[in-house]
Amino acid sequence: MHKQFDDKPRSPDAVMPSRREALMVGAGLLAAPLMASLVPAANAADTGASVGGGPFPARAYGATSATSPLGPLQIERRVVGPRDVLLDVLYCGVCHSDIHVARSEWGPTHYPCVPGHEVIGRVQAVGSAVTKFKIGDIAGVGCMVNSCGTCENCQADLEQYCLKGNTLTYDSPDPATGKHTLGGYSNKIVVTEHFVIRIPPGADLPATAPLLCAGITTFSPMQHWKVAGGQRVGVIGLGGLGHVAVKLAVARKVDVTVFTTSPGKIADARRLGAQGAVLSTDVEAMKGLAKFDFLISTVPEAFPMQPFINLLKLDGTLVNVGAMNPLEDVHGLGLARARRSLAGSIIGGIAETQEVIDYCTARNIKADVELIQPANINKAFDRVVNKDVRYRFVIDMTTSA
Q: How far apart are CA 216 and CA 354, in angstroms?
A: 9
**Do residues 234 and 258 make contact, with C-beta atoms less than 8 angstroms apart?**
yes
Stretch that binds ligand NAP, among 151-159, 239-247, 352-360, 374-382 (CB under 6 A): 239-247
Residue 120 binding ligand NAP, by CB under 6 A: no
Interior CA angle at 287 toward 285 and 289, to 5°?
75
**94-133 positions binding Zn ion, by CB under 5 A:** 95, 97
Contacting residue, 90, 199, 227, 238, with ligand NAP by CB under 6 A = 238
Contacting residue, 63, 141, 213, 272, with Zn ion by CB under 5 A = 213
Residue 389 binding ligand NAP, by CB under 6 A: yes
Q: Could you tell me the smallest distance in angstroms from the CB atom of residue 70 to Zn ion?
A: 16
Q: How far apart are CA 53 and CA 25, in angstroms?
A: 9
DSSP single-letter state for residue 245: H
Q: How far apart are CA 189 and CA 196, in angstroms?
A: 11
Q: Could you say which of ligand NAP, Zn ion, none residue 197 binds, taking C-beta under 5 to 8 angstroms by partner kind?
A: none
Please, which residue, 98 or 157, has the CB nearer to Zn ion? 98
Number of alpha carbons in the 13 Å side-chain half-sphere of residue 279: 10
Residue 239 binding ligand NAP, by CB under 6 A: yes
Please, which residue, 103 or 122, has the CB nearer to ligand NAP? 103
Phi, psi (rounded to 5 degrees) for 58: -140, 155
Residue 346 binding ligand NAP, by CB under 6 A: yes
Sheet of 312-320: strand order equals 276-279, 255-260, 232-236, 292-297, 312-320, 341-344
Stretch that binds ligand NAP, among 1-9, 131-139, 176-184, 261-269 (CB under 6 A): 261-269
b/e per residue 27-43 (b: at least 16 CB within 10 A): eeebeeebeebbbebee
Residue 300 binding ligand NAP, by CB under 6 A: yes
Q: Could you say which of Zn ion, ligand NAP, none residue 299 binds, taking C-beta under 5 to 8 angstroms by partner kind?
A: ligand NAP
Residue 265 binding ligand NAP, by CB under 6 A: yes
Sequence-ordered list of residues with C-beta below 8 angstroms from that of 342, at least 6 positions apart, any chain: 305, 309, 317, 318, 320, 327, 330, 335
Residue 353 binding ligand NAP, by CB under 6 A: no
Chain residues in the site for Zn ion (CB under 5 A):
95, 97, 213
Chain residues in the site for ligand NAP (CB under 6 A):
95-97, 100, 213, 217, 237-242, 260-262, 265, 298-301, 303, 321-322, 345-347, 384, 387, 389
